[in-house]
Amino acid sequence: MKRLFLFLTTCLSFFVSFAQTDNSLARVEKYNNKLVFFYNEPINDYEQAFTFENKIENLNCLPPTEIFAATIKNANLEAANQSKLYDAIIVNSAGRDMAIVFKDKSKDNAIARVKRTEGKFVFIQCEPVSNYTMIGKYNVSGVGQQLILGTCPSYQEKISKLIKKANKENTDFDGVILGSEKFEQSIKFK
């Protein structure tokens, strides 16, 4: 009986530590004192403050920091129109963006869950919470396409191109990082 208890305790400990390692978690930084969730979703409970139309010219040609600045400006205009306060913005690629208020301000509300593309975690202008190693550096900004065609690839096209390049060079990677550094990266979690 003692051996069974020891075995079950060891298994439970293994599963608890395994469950705590969630490689989809990222830390989002504040811009102009607001959090902007871009291709990721906050993990803590929140309420919608308001939605707003976020028209940004040449969106795909802009780096994430410029998108965030324009988004905050647009949200601030709508917040003033509605006389509402907000803590963060969730950028919705398919519709109106949403300003939110977190239910518990004592929590670390900068933690987000990133999405996957082609089975790989995608971190745009945020840092993984889990420890990782950089596997490769790439440039998928779309500047060449902009110069030749006058358009920029969408962020989804940039993500797919980055994953394709990383797969070509090294199939053993867990995710990609865009926008945080000078070059995009493929990463492997430790």
Is residue 19 assigned to a domain?
no
Helices assigned H by DSSP within 52-187? 64-82, 143-149, 155-169
In the predicted model, what is the mean pLDDT of the chain?
Answer: 85
Last residue of a domain, one of 102, 129, 161: 102
Average pLDDT score over residue span 35-49: 96
Rounded to 10 degrees, the C-alpha dihedral 81/85/87/89 comes to -20
Is residue 180 pLDDT above 90, yes or no? Answer: no
Domain boundary among 102, 131, 147: 102
Three-state secondary structure call for residue 96: coil
Determine contact, residues 74/52, Cβ cutoff 8 Å: yes
The one-character DSSP state at 60 is G
User: Which of 20-29, 99-108, 116-125, 149-158 shows the lowest per-residue confidence on average (mean pLDDT)?
Assistant: 149-158
Mean pLDDT over residues 143-163, rounded? 73
Domain containing residue 92 = 25-102
Domain end: 80, 102, 124, which one? 102
Does residue 39 belong to any structural domain of this protein? yes
Evaluate whether residue 121 is within a structural domain: yes
146 found inside a domain: yes
Confidence of residue 36 (pLDDT cuts 50, 70, 90): very high
Band of the pLDDT at 139, cuts 50, 70, 90?
confident
Stretch 26-37: mean pLDDT, rounded? 94
60 and 125: one domain?
Answer: no
pTM over 0.75: yes
The helix (H) or strand (E) run that includes residue 39 is none
List, for residues 56-103, the tens digit of each pLDDT value.
887 788 888 899 999 999 999 999 999 999 999 999 866 789 999 999
Q: Of 43-47, 160-164, 170-174, which has the strongest mean pLDDT?
A: 43-47
Number of domain units in the chain: 2
- For the chain, counts of helices (H) and of strands (E): 4, 14
- Under the banding of pLDDT at 50, 70 and 90, the label for residue 9 is very low
pLDDT at 41: 95
What's residue 143's pLDDT? 52
Considering the domain architecture, whether residues 30 and 98 belong to the same structural domain is answered as yes
Residue pLDDT, tens place only, 142-151:
555 554 556 7
